[in-house]
Structure 1
């Protein structure tokens, strides 16, 4: 019996990863485009330079597509089902990863090729954004299925979602390097097209992995597919939680995405302004690896401290490191290895805290009936923060530099000062306005939500998919009788 439940637990863990692993595509798609931009400049030279706003527009369209995907599929995952949303999202990512690699213009014009690439990136962004309210939400619900140890629920969710995004960042930096080793300097067209096209592989793999999945038990029992959704009642109960999570996500992405720009600064300095692609890409891989220890360590900490306190710990630690980097920026730049390590620790604490916990809080703070919308709104506001931070970063640098024109380094300290201050502000919001999430917290929240609706005259008998619930209920009761070893 114990062996049977152990196998059931492992099978359930694999379902959590089947739901969340597609977020790898987010990290890969967002990171690989940096290397692709570098390659496009090398390949097309002066012709590419004519399109001055290409890089900015490309980033903006990718963000816009992601926000559209989060909001649209937040609704669809609640209305049409988690599996429908996940399968559609993975299909979109696969199709437009392939089309991005095949981008071309009429009569082989560079402008036409870039226009097609931008259109494909926007549509790819919709698929990537869809994974958040579909895949992450399904992963959170699978983490509370029978067979998962209560003391590992948060861990498996973090490893299956944010850790996958961070691995996507690393692989997105590593793939162009490997392709460059294979094809060499004279075949850079093959390198950039294959770098984009290989995004099809993980998407198709996850698509196949998901084919035999069923809807999570929580969705079967507590969705509102068959009845009307009492939005006014829901807003009245959850607006504070949603607002707090959305604001902290906005701040986190406002800090994190612009700091990605520092990666190129560090790489450029470390390599002595080298123009060797193997050197530049290699250091990019090293710097992106700093994300991994933070997200993995955080995944094992969060089940003990809980998402709220793990997030506060990560934010405060990140703020301390940021203030140190601000004060010692000039000294650190004279020892670039030390700068890279301290900068890497700064990134790691960001992943240990808000990187791992924001998605968890968004997925587990609301009821199953509107979990996709809840998550989609919070994640979309976070992406808007990323967009705003990317545009604000250079203004911050310029303004700090203008205050002290005689110090050439003072401008670069600005983002660290402001980012660290915002991290502390985010920790304060988390402390006062975000509730702790317990193990099996979604089941408890759904029960309280039903009671709340009944108190206000809502007919809760129309909730769920209308399927018989005896099997799932009996399996849960059996589960309580037998120790679980997952």
Structure 2
């Protein structure tokens, strides 16, 4: 009996060791697969940070130079010139990502981002205030180019890398390291000026805005080191058009309508999201009376509002796996439209100084639902609804149209506000009416004009596109990288190599 128990105990130990070994192997496999997803996608943090921090920087500049900044043309451009640079970067790096390299394109865009963010923070022009504003504007254009490269190179490689992850959570992890990173960038971009302003006791305005901009260099520096270890994604090695002539006419016939719908939804989303993000501190300053409220008060409430992006994107991420990106997007924008109409109708009571807390909560819910919907899913849809050979350009065009929407929104919103006439209530209500109406349009487009996106859509799209090209006489043997450029195996993370 004792012998039997002893043997049973030994078997149990052996089985336990086997199970523990499988668990350890699974953890190691996950860590190898997730690192490229993080490295490729997380650079979008800089998009959120840099585009949100400039709203606070503009507020500080208006405090520091109340006459010259308000009257300078730079005030009109410093906030949104990065959008123009981003469009250039998205289109340029979309082509480079397809015809050169996913990883090398990422490294170049990261260097551009680091260099010009540092230059923007150090903007100076021999004591000439207007000259300094113009220099700041110029540097931010090039910062935008660096940000633009993160979309077609980084997000595309991130989407391709999720194919190495377990089915059922691939959309979640893509979202966590793309849109969620943008949203954390928005939050940190609001919080840093608050901390710096508090440290400066709401004085030393030059220190506040320069430090707030300069901190934007830190994250891409860390990411640059991580990206030095990346290899090309396997999907890219098999289906790249780096050495093949792109049949643009066939591509347009096959993907033209789909690209138009994806681009239009992205345009609508950025039109509202970035405009509201940039104007949030201004809205709060108006509620609080900017002449009386200290910077820490305005920036503090701005941080609270931006925090609502986080539950929207993080709690919404698994919904994209449960329902699929198309239905998750439609659900988010439909709920956002409802909240937006309610907020517009009751804005008069919400916007009083005594109810700024209620205003922040309702406005925050409005923003959070936008993240659950198109915020999380439009980039995912763009990355997974076309074939690998043209994915960089397809994604770059869609993202560029989105950024054009953001650019247009920052210019159109003042006119929408002005349409309210002398009524402060109507001036604030109109943007919410417009945005909520556009949400309804986005829901319809997603439901009726987009395809289903599953866990293996990237592989399916590559096969479908190959079959289409072959049916039109295109030699698909041209696709893929040369043998020496492909990645046949994954090395240990400790050896310094990961698979992208």
TM-score scaled by length of structure 1: 0.92
SS in 1 for 2:67: helix
Change (3 A) 1:292 1:224: same
- 1:270 Cα deviation from its structure 2 partner: 5.5
**CA distance in structure 2 between the aligned counterparts of 1:319 and 1:263, rounded to whole angstroms:** 18
Q: Which residue of 2 aligns with 1:144?
A: 163
Superposition pairs of residues 64-83 of structure 1, within 5 angstroms:
64-83=84-103
Q: Which residue of 1 aligns with 2:267?
A: 250
- 1:109 Cα deviation from its structure 2 partner: 1.5
Q: Which residue of 2 aligns with 1:291?
A: 309
Which deviations, in whole Å up to 9, do the C-alpha atoms of 1:115-139 show, x marking residues without a partner? 2111110000000011111111110
Change (3 A) 1:262 1:112: closer
- 1:199 Cα deviation from its structure 2 partner: 1.3
**CA distance in structure 2 between the aligned counterparts of 1:102 and 1:408, rounded to whole angstroms:** 37
**CA distance in structure 2 between the aligned counterparts of 1:470 and 1:111, rounded to whole angstroms:** 52
- 1:25 Cα deviation from its structure 2 partner: 0.5
- Correspondence 1:119 to 2:135: no
SS in 2 for 1:199: helix
Unaligned runs of 5+ in 1: 476-486
**CA distance in structure 2 between the aligned counterparts of 1:411 and 1:34, rounded to whole angstroms:** 20
Superposition pairs of residues 444-483 of structure 1, within 5 angstroms:
444-467=460-483, 472=488
Q: Which residue of 2 aligns with 1:307?
A: 325
> Contact 2:192/2:212 (CA < 8 Å) preserved in 1?
yes
- Correspondence 1:154 to 2:196: no
Find the partner of 2:75 among 43, 55, 65: 55
- 1:239 Cα deviation from its structure 2 partner: 0.8
* Deviation larger for 251-260 or 40-49: 40-49
**CA distance in structure 2 between the aligned counterparts of 1:470 and 1:202, rounded to whole angstroms:** 29
> Contact 1:221/1:469 (CA < 8 Å) preserved in 2?
no
**CA distance in structure 1 between the aligned counterparts of 2:82 and 2:344, rounded to whole angstroms:** 31
- Correspondence 1:241 to 2:258: yes
- Correspondence 1:394 to 2:414: yes
Find the partner of 1:332 among 342, 347, 350: 350
* Deviation larger for 266-275 or 9-18: 266-275
- Alignment root-mean-square deviation, CA: 1.9
- 1:266 Cα deviation from its structure 2 partner: 4.4
SS in 2 for 1:103: coil
- Correspondence 1:428 to 2:448: no
> Contact 1:269/1:336 (CA < 8 Å) preserved in 2?
no
- 1:83 Cα deviation from its structure 2 partner: 0.4
Which deviations, in whole Å up to 9, do the C-alpha atoms of 1:409-431 show, x marking residues without a partner? 22321111121111111111111
> Contact 1:90/1:203 (CA < 8 Å) preserved in 2?
yes
SS in 2 for 1:143: helix
**CA distance in structure 2 between the aligned counterparts of 1:264 and 1:195, rounded to whole angstroms:** 15
Structure showing greater Rg: 2
Unaligned runs of 5+ in 2: 1-20, 491-500
Q: Which residue of 1 aligns with 2:219?
A: 202
Superposition pairs of residues 169-188 of structure 1, within 5 angstroms:
169-188=186-205
Which deviations, in whole Å up to 9, do the C-alpha atoms of 1:251-294 show, x marking residues without a partner? 11112222235513542256464431121111111111111110
> Contact 1:266/1:340 (CA < 8 Å) preserved in 2?
no
- 1:55 Cα deviation from its structure 2 partner: 2.0
TM-score scaled by length of structure 2: 0.89
Q: Which residue of 2 aligns with 1:18?
A: 39
- Correspondence 1:410 to 2:410: no
**CA distance in structure 2 between the aligned counterparts of 1:82 and 1:282, rounded to whole angstroms:** 39
* Deviation larger for 316-325 or 1-10: 1-10
Matched residue count: 466
- 1:114 Cα deviation from its structure 2 partner: 1.6
- 1:57 Cα deviation from its structure 2 partner: 1.4
